[in-house]
Amino acid sequence: MYKTVMLTGASGYIGSWTLKELLEKGYTVRACVRDKSNAGKVQHLLDLAKDAPGKLELWDADLLKEGTFDEAARGCDAIFHMASPFTLRFSDPQKDLVDPAVLGTKNVLKAATHSGTVRKVILTSSTVAVYGDNIDMQEQGLSEFTEANFNITSSLKHQTYSYSKVTAEKEAWKIAEAQNQWKLVVINPAFVMGPMLSPNSDSESLNFMNDILTGKYKMGGPELFFSFVDVRDVALAHRLALENETATGRYIISSVTMPFLDLTEIIKKKYPGQFKLPAMKTPRLMILMIGWMYGLTVKFIKRNVGYRIKVSNAKSIAQLGMKYIPFEKTIEDMVDLMAPRRGG
C-alpha cells in the first residue's frame, strides 16, 4: 500500500496531470518544484489540490544539487521522477540537456536509497530512449519497436534530447541493479500531446502544436512518422505502474503512430478553414534544401523523413490495463485550449 509519494517536475506538462491523477486517488504528494514561491508556476497545482481527497505538499529542489531531494523523500513510500529538460532549443547540449537529465536522475535515486522508506521508483523516460531515428527499425531488422529495444544511434551531436533520455534511463537501471531497497519501473511515453493544466507551460509539445496552428508548415509538411500519446494517458500509466505490484521493467505508452500530415488532417476536418495548415506533402529533396528553416539537420532528414515506424503498446495494455484515449479527442481537446491564445 502506497500513501505518500514524491513527484519531481510536478509543475510541468506531464507532471501536472500526474499530480492531478494522484490527488484524485487520495495520495499525499510531495511535489518538488524549482521555486515553490513562484505563483505563476505553482498556483495551478494548489488549485488542483483544493477539492481533491489527496494532500499536496510543495518542496523546493534542484536537479543538479546533490542531497536536495533527501528531505522530501524521507518517509515516502514511492517516488515519481519526471523532472528532465524537454527542449529542442539549447546552446550547450551537455550542460542544458544531458547533465540535468543524468545528474538529476542520480540525485533522485540516491534520495530514494537514503530515505529508508521508498519501495518503488517510477521513472519517466521516453520512446526516444527506445529508438533514436525512424530508420533504426529498418537498420536493426525490426518489425516494430518494443521495450526490449534501446536507442543506440543518438549522440551529443545528433538527436541530443534523445541521447539525454537514453543515457539517464541507462544510469537509472545501473543504480537500481546495485541496490535491493526499491524497485524501478520505467514509463516510456511516445510524443505527448493533449490539453495542458498550466497556463505558463513551455513544453515542446505545446510549441509543436502552436507551430502547426500558426502556419509554420503552411507551405507543406514532411513525410515524418510519429508515435503519439495523450498526456492524460501518460499520467494514468504512472499511477497504474505504482499500484500494480507485478509491474516490472519498461512500459511503452503510445496510442497511435501516424505521419505528421495525418495529424494536421484531423485538425483540418474538425476546424475547417480556421488555421494555416499544410497544403501538401513536401518532397524529401525539398526538405533537404530548406530543412534548416525548420531546425532540421541533413542527417536528421536522411534518417527520419519517409521511414515508417511501428511502436508496440501491447505490454502496457496487457500488464497495466491501459485503454487509450482516441487520438482525435486528444487533438481536439488540445486545440480547443490553445486556439484562443495562439496569437493569430
Residue-averaged pLDDT of the chain: 93
The pLDDT of residue 183 is 98
The answer to whether 55 is a known catalytic residue is: no
The grid cell for 16 is 501536472
Question: In angstroms, rounded to a whole number, what is the distance separating the alpha carbons of residues 206 and 98?
Answer: 22
What local confidence, expressed as pLDDT, does residue 343 receive? Answer: 42
Of residues 290 and 305, the one with the higher pLDDT is 305
Residue 175 within any structural domain of the chain = yes
* Residue 184 contacts residue 172 (beta carbons within 8 Å): yes
Instruction: Report yes or no on 286 lying in a domain.
Output: no
- Is residue 264 included in any domain, yes or no? no
What does the pLDDT average to over 293-313? Answer: 92
Do the beta carbons of residue 32 and residue 10 sit within 8 Å? Answer: yes
- On the question of pLDDT at 113 being above 50, the answer is yes
Query: Is residue 319 in a domain?
Result: yes
pLDDT in tens, 18-71: 999 999 999 999 999 999 999 888 999 999 999 999 999 999 999 989 999 999
Is residue 211 one of the residues assigned to a domain? Answer: no
Is the pLDDT confidence value at 90 over 70? no
Rounded alpha-carbon distances, angstroms, from residue 298 to 48, 184, 290, 301: 44, 37, 10, 5
Which range marks the domain in which residue 153 is found? 4-197+227-256+309-325
Confidence tier at 14 by pLDDT (50, 70, 90): very high
Q: Kindly list the distances between the CA atom of residue 7 and the CA atoms of 54, 212, 268, 271, 275, in Å, as whole numbers in the listed order.
A: 14, 31, 37, 37, 37
Number of domains in the chain: 1
Which one is catalytic: 20, 41, 165, 315? 165
Q: Is the pLDDT of residue 86 over 70?
A: no
Kindly state whether residue 334 falls inside one of the protein's structural domains.
no
Instruction: Measure the CA–CA gap between 123 and 172, rounded to whole angstroms.
Output: 8
SS3 169: helix
| CB 104 within 8 Å of CB 167 | no
CA dist 74 and 46 (Å) reads 22
Domain-located, residue 58:
yes
Query: What CATH number corresponds to the domain at position 191?
Result: 3.40.50.720
Q: What is the mean pLDDT of residues 130-138?
A: 98
Strands 55-60 and 28-33: parallel
Q: Write the pLDDT tens digit of every residue in 207-259.
A: 999 999 999 888 888 899 999 999 999 999 999 999 999 999 999 999 999 99
List of residues 6+ apart from 301 with CB closer than 8 A: 222, 284, 287, 288, 291
Q: What is the DSSP letter of 186?
A: E
Predicted pLDDT at 87: 61
pTM over 0.85: yes
pLDDT surpasses 80 at 192: yes
Is a pLDDT exceeding 70 seen at residue 340?
A: no
Residue 146 placed within a domain = yes
- pLDDT the model gives residue 219: 84
CA dist 89 → 22, 97, 164 (Å): 31, 10, 14
Alpha-carbon Rg of the chain, whole angstroms? 20
